[in-house]
Structure 1
Amino acid sequence: MTLPLTWLYAPGDRPVVVHKALTSGADVVIVDLEDAVAPGRRRYALDATVELLSSAQPLPVHVRIDTPRAVEALAGLPGLSAVRVPKVAHATDIRRIAARAPGVPLYPLLESALAVEHAYAIATAHEAVRGIGLGEADLQAELGMRGDAALDWPRARTVFAARAAGLLPPAQSVYPDVYDLDGLAASCAHGRDLGMLGRAALHPRQLPVILRAFLPTPREVEEAEEIVKAAADDEGAVALPDGRFVDGAVVAAAERTLALARREVPG
């Protein structure tokens, strides 16, 4: 399984844009039935998405639903890979969705202070949960947060909850200025430092920036290979030539770096 690092949103009521997204180079396309679609067009967006996903797609397609009823129309479609559930606040919210669509992988989105407080409970609410993420715009609006750094704590909280639940690290939410690629790169670097992995995008031009930010650099790969080799040549804890001490946790981190460089799901 190839590890996804880029997710591209496309509004469900614009099928032409969705089809372009499917050839954009993104790892996953997220068809949005919620915020990107005007309320009066959401029925059409759902119908168009059901038509699209009635056949298999060339890459994974997730759908961000707008109501619990939408998941019933999507369940079982051959082109559906997962459902993203917005505005989850309690574990019971996810269990209700899972009951409506047995076997459909779910990605709860935490978009309120209450949801962040319940992050671990939501992450472990049901076996259908494959990952969790933040809805950063709604969270900032609720709390009056300003600036990217204000999100450090909820991002870290989500990273901890995902890891504790045995899920992959959460991806960052979208960067809203699609022309500010330098700002996007800096924000991705900061998110990576917090333990996040990959990012959702609003426009294809953001995808290469995200990919470069989250893949290991050649130097990081070289250091990881050195650590793994040193551990293989010795038993127990070892010291590298530069004096760094290497124990099991360091070796495991190096192995994850090498898996990420190969775009494999890290252990």
Structure 2
Amino acid sequence: MSQGRLYRSYLYVPASDEHKVEKALESGADCVVLDLEDAVVPSEKDHARQVAADVLMGGNRSRPIFVRLNAPGSTLLEQDLELIAPLSPAGVRLPKVESPEMVREVGCEFECRGAHNTKIQCLIESALGLERVFEIARAHPLVAGMGLGEVDLAADLGVSDERGLIYARSRVVCASRAAGLPGPVGSVYTNVRDEEGLRNSTLVLKALGFVGRSAIHPRQVKVINDVFTPDAEEIRKAKEVIKRIERAEALGSGAFALPDGSFVDRAVVEAARSKLELARLSGGGEL
């Protein structure tokens, strides 16, 4: 599987609204997601697709640009791929994924059109997709991450609050890591005025193993970035782990113990490297 870069925040913006697209590109989000799917009414799909193409061709890459495509199995997706794939966005989000075959078809389209560096994030939005999440995560070499579309998933499962999503969240975390992918990206928090609720919900996602979260409004970005930015003590510990593994490897060992007696192996080292990668996004200090 492909290991993509880690980002703390992904800001969705309807690609049909040029003004909002410009605002999103100027925001503090680590990554902007040009949405061709849910945020765009059918009559605006062609316009949204062209705006996304213009942004990608315009070279405005001050931050990575992803595109959320339309759902597999639709003529809309075919039109998306024809225009967007040759432009090699940093990544695409494939919604409503329910089988590995859906992912393989899209991955092959990107490869055939020369977009070998475009990463695919798969969104699980149904019970069927959740049952197949591990196979989906391993479906194609361009798959670089997973995520949940929790509004649709909750409706499909018949759950009414976040407690009903604990199993789904943990399962997609486990499947992602088992497939060699980073922790998944958290779904959106729909109440854009509830900053405290967003922070608490994002802290829960981080504790469960998610790395980063999607936003639907620029005002949500700072909270998400704050939660996923390692603090000074986390950075110190991560740097110490990296320093000691380098020393241990020079002596022919792949594991060691920290001064407090805790044992460190490859998984702990990988987690330390992920923390340092997220810390670099904040632009704060030498790492």
Q: TM-score, normalised by structure 2?
A: 0.82
Deviation at 1:124, TM superposition (A): 0.9
2: CA distance, partners of 1:74 / 1:86: 16
Letter in 2 for 1:112: S
* CA displacement at 1:208 relative to structure 2: 0.9
Contact 1:3 1:263 in 2 (8 A): no
Q: Does residue 257 of the first structure (1) align with residue 257 of the second (2)?
A: no
Q: Distance in 2 between matches of 1:87 and 1:122?
A: 11
Q: How many angstroms does 1:251 deviate by?
A: 4.8
Of 117, 133, 142, which aligns to 2:147?
133
Q: Is the 8 A contact 2:69 2:77 kept in 1?
A: yes
Q: Residues 95-129 of structure 1: CA distance to partner in whole angstroms, max 9, x if unpaired?
A: 12223332343221110011011111111111121
Seq. identity, %: 40
In structure 2, the partner of 1:73 is 83
- Could you tell me which amino acid in structure 2 is paired with residue 6 of structure 1? S
1:16 paired residue among 5, 10, 19: 19
Gaps of 5+ in 2: 71-75, 283-287
CA distance in 2, matches of 1:72, 1:29: 21
- Structure-2 separation of matches of 1:233 and 1:60: 34
Indicate the SS of the match to 1:153.
helix
Contact 2:11 2:217 in 1 (8 A): yes
Distance 1:42 1:123, change over 3 A: same
Query: Which residue does the alignment assign to 1:32?
Result: 35
On the 8 A contact 2:95/2:124 being kept in 1, the answer is: yes
Q: Could you say which residue in structure 2 is the equivalent of 1:56? A: 59
Tell me the residue number matched to 1:101: 110
- What amino acid does structure 2 have at the position aligned with 1:72? E
**Given residue 54 of structure 1, which amino acid in structure 2 is its aligned partner?**
M
* Equivalence for 1:182: 196
Cα distance change, pair 205–101 in 1 and its aligned pair in 2 (3 A): same
- Are the structure 2 counterparts of residues 164 and 48 from structure 1 closer, same or farther at C-alpha, using a change threshold of 3 Å? same
**Aligned partners of 2:122 and 2:5: how far apart in 1?**
21
Is the aligned partner of 1:154 residue 2:168? yes
- Offset at 1:76? 1.3
User: How many residues are treated as equivalent by the alignment?
Assistant: 262
In structure 2, distance between residues paired with 1:97 and 1:3: 22
Contact 1:2/1:263 (CA < 8 Å) preserved in 2? Answer: no
- 1:169 is matched by which residue type in structure 2? G
Which amino acid in structure 2 is aligned with residue 65 of structure 1? Answer: L
Q: Write out aligned runs for 1:200-219 (5 A).
A: 200-219=214-233
Relative to structure 2, which stretch is displaced further, 39-48 or 195-204? Answer: 39-48
Q: Distance in 2 between matches of 1:178 and 1:213?
A: 16
Residues 41 and 229 of structure 1: CA distance in aligned 2, closer, same or farther (over 3 Å):
closer
Residue 226 of structure 1: CA displacement? 5.0
Call closer, same or farther: CA 1:125–1:25 in 2, change over 3 Å: same
Q: Structure 1 CA distance, aligned partners of 2:102 and 2:231?
A: 40
